[in-house]
Structure 1
Amino acid sequence: MKISLSNDLITAIPQFQLGVIYYHNITIDESPQMVKGRMLFFQETLYTDIVDLDISSIKEVQGWRAMFKQVGTNPSHYRPSSESLLKRIKKRQFLEPVHSAVDINNLFSLEYKIPLGLYDLDRLKGDLTIGIGSSTEQYEAINGREISLENKLISSDEQGPFGSPYVDSKRSIVTKKTKNALQLVYFLPQTTMEDAHRMILSIEKLFSQINGGESKK
């Protein structure tokens, strides 16, 4: 499976960076207590750190808001998924466990304050393109709403769009039946190669430790 960036995305964000991890033969189940405990502890700690902050003042949030603007998205109306998670934590609306794949994805999205996408690889067809959505593109999101993808950063396969750092599609959702998965890590343009590599290794290590199988980045 080849993954490429569209010309319009390269023009809008010349230094766009994306981390890619493939997982095969994984077993997804309820998260073990270690992951649940780590997630709760991290949310409690993060709440203490941000409760008195304006979320928009966080540098990672500012960076992603700027990227949304660069592709034509109004970040005040359509927030990056990482910002939405942070807003929930500030309201003390802590995330409930889903399963061992989504929980780890959310944990690292909160830790690094950037969007992460997790997709069922067997539901995707052909090569993938990361680009900017057109006025004719839309999908049913994981929240059940039909959303327009115009001027939004999107991931597409030969069937059409399936993901976005705004909100992902229902078509590509990862469940306990998922055996093969694709994880996209949406780095900020200013992230160094050293930091990006360190983050990818941390994500891959914990995901594989909990869900088994083989991974490739």
Structure 2
Amino acid sequence: MKVALDSTLLNKVPDFKIGIIHYTKIVVSESPQMIKGRTQLYQENLFLELQDKPVTERAGISEWRKLWKSLGADPNRYRHSAESLMRRIAKQNYITPFHSAVDLNNFFSLQYEMPVGIYDINNLDGDITVSLGNGETGYEGLNGRFNSLNNIIVTSDIKGAFGSPFVDSKRTAVTENTTEALHVFYLRPSLSPKESTELLAAAGKMFTQVHGSDFTTGLLSKDQQSLEI
């Protein structure tokens, strides 16, 4: 399977980057107590921080809002997933455990202040492309409704879009039956290639400590627009 970054995004944002982690032989289950406890404590501490510093002033959230605008989307109408999670925490509406893969995915999104998506590879078909959606792009999302994704970054296979920094699709959602997954980090453009690679390695290590598995990482950017997984 090839994963590629469409040049349209690079034309608009030259430092745009996508991080990829490929997991095989994973075991998804209820999150261990260590993950539940760590996530709850992180949210409680974050809530306290957000009383003094609004969500939109957090470095990663602010950067992604600017990126949203540069691509032609309204960040107030289509909030990226990291901002949506953080706004919930600011209201003390803490994120409850779902299963180990989703829980860690949410933790990474909060920790790194960027959208992150995880997808079941068995529900993907053909090569993957990260591009900019148009007026015809959309899918049934995990939020329970059809989502139009014009001027929103989308991750697609042969069947169409399945993921985005806004909301992911039902079609490729990871479940407790998932054994092979694709983790997509919609990286902050300000991160250097070295910082991005280190972030992916750290996230992959933590994920596999919980799920078993082997993992490989890759970075899509202007210097490498495609890779094989």
TM tier, shorter chain? over 0.9
Show the 5 A alignment for 1:8-157.
Answer: 8-157=8-157
CA distance in 2, matches of 1:140, 1:188: 26
Q: Deviations over 1:139-166 (max 9, x none)?
A: 0000111011111110000110000001
- SS of equivalent residue, structure 1 residue 9: helix
Gaps of 5+ in 1: none
CA distance in 2, matches of 1:50, 1:43: 10
- SS of equivalent residue, structure 1 residue 194: helix
Question: Letter of the aligned partner of 1:160 in structure 2?
Answer: G
- SS of equivalent residue, structure 2 residue 100: coil
TM-score (norm 1): 0.97
Q: Deviations over 1:68-95 (max 9, x none)?
A: 1121110010001000011011101111
Spell out structure 1 runs of 4+ moving beyond 6 A. Answer: none
- SS of equivalent residue, structure 1 residue 204: helix
Instruction: Work out the percentage of aligned pairs sharing the same amino acid.
Output: 41
Q: Deviations over 1:1-53 (max 9, x none)?
A: 11111122121111111110000111100000010011011111111111232
Q: Deviations over 1:93-140 (max 9, x none)?
A: 111000010111111111111111100011111111101111111100
Number of the residue aligned with 1:215: 215
Deviates more, 1:45-54 or 1:165-174: 45-54
- SS of equivalent residue, structure 2 residue 22: strand
Shift of 1:194: 2.6
Q: How many residues align?
A: 217
Gaps of 5+ in 2: 218-229
CA distance in 2, matches of 1:50, 1:214: 36
Shift of 1:197: 2.0
CA distance in 2, matches of 1:101, 1:64: 23
Question: Letter of the aligned partner of 1:214 in structure 2?
Answer: D
Question: Letter of the aligned partner of 2:69 in structure 1?
Answer: K
CA distance in 2, matches of 1:192, 1:58: 19
TM-score (norm 2): 0.92
- SS of equivalent residue, structure 1 residue 101: helix
CA distance in 2, matches of 1:46, 1:55: 10
- SS of equivalent residue, structure 2 residue 85: helix
